[in-house]
Amino acid sequence: MIAPSSSSRHGSLLIRDLKDLKAVQRELRTRARLEAERLAALQAAAALAKAEKELFARAVGRVVALAPQHRPGHKASVPRARPAPVAEQLLRDEQAVMHEALSDEFDVETLLLIDETLSFRRPGIGPDVTRKLRLGHWSIQAQLDLHGLRREAAREALSAFIREARKAGLRCVRVVHGKGLGSPGKAPVLKGRVQSWLVQKQEVLAFVQARPAHGGAGALLVLLAPG
């Protein structure tokens, strides 16, 4: 569940509750299904046109040009059939989805910095960035609360949240994954997943464990690249 942050200065990105998230997911699945059906129809139409052309060619046989003296004075204008359009946008969207697919097998341990708490910064990002992030140099503009979500739902919610936050031009967001106190064995399973997923998102420049007032070990402050 995404709730607006009280410290937002530039507006909030809202997905109010799990019900809204599921509605968004259903809408995305419906759009993907309709686009896939449209692409299939285009491909079927192209295949049918090709088959009809080949059938006509076989029925007519070899075409021989008329001698000049036998050609009629008026030439009929026959419109050429336009080729079926290629769904380029759909292909680009599918490539983007594949590009942002988040793996559960990604080894994030060697990339995390365990200093006074925990942090990550992408190569080329200086340590002053994580220090400023931890000290609140960037105000929190939106937050995503993953409490109560299963792994797949949490992964989809995080991807959508980061993507929409980047489109909105947000720089600093908070992701609440919880401390795992309600999980079997009291193990923070989702916490490690979220860290791994964030490292795989190129839009994420750095993240740090939140200060106690902002969720402590149950949340991360995430710095996004400028849009």
Report the alpha-carbon distance of residue 31 to residue 101 in Å, rounded.
Answer: 18
| Nearest-angstrom CA–CA distance, 39 and 33 | 10
Most trustworthy range by pLDDT among 16-25, 86-95, 217-226: 217-226
d(CA 157, CA 143): 12
Predicted confidence at residue 173, as pLDDT, reads 97
The answer to which of 73-77, 103-107, 198-202 has the lowest mean pLDDT is 103-107
> Is 161 within 8 Å of 2 (Cβ atoms)?
yes
Residue with tokens 């697919």: 101
Distance CA 104, CA 96 (A): 19
Is the pLDDT at 118 greater than 90? The verdict is no
Q: What is the CATH number of domain 18-22+105-224?
A: 3.30.1370.110
Residue 146's Cβ-side half-sphere holds a number of Cα atoms within 13 Å equal to 31
Query: Could you tell me how many residues make up the chain?
Result: 227
> What is the rounded CA–CA span in Å between residue 140 and residue 94?
31
Helices vs strands, H then E, count in the chain: 5, 5
Position 187 confidence tier, pLDDT thresholds 50, 70, 90: low
